[in-house]
Amino acid sequence: MSGLTSNLALGSVAGLEGGLFFVVPWLRMLALAERRSLQLVLLDGGYAALATALMGALLVAF
> Helix-strand-coil percent breakdown of the chain, rounded to 5?
85, 0, 15
* Per-residue confidence (pLDDT) for residue 39, from 0 to 100: 93
State how far the Cα of 31 lies from the Cα of 22, in Å rounded to an integer.
15
Averaged pLDDT, 3-30: 85
Averaged pLDDT, 45-62: 91
pLDDT above 70 (res 19) = yes
* Per-residue confidence (pLDDT) for residue 31, from 0 to 100: 92
Band of residue 2 on the pLDDT scale cut at 50, 70, 90: low
Which residues, other chains included, contact 58 with Cβ-Cβ below 8 Å and sequence gap of 6+?
Answer: 11
Query: Global pTM?
Result: 0.79
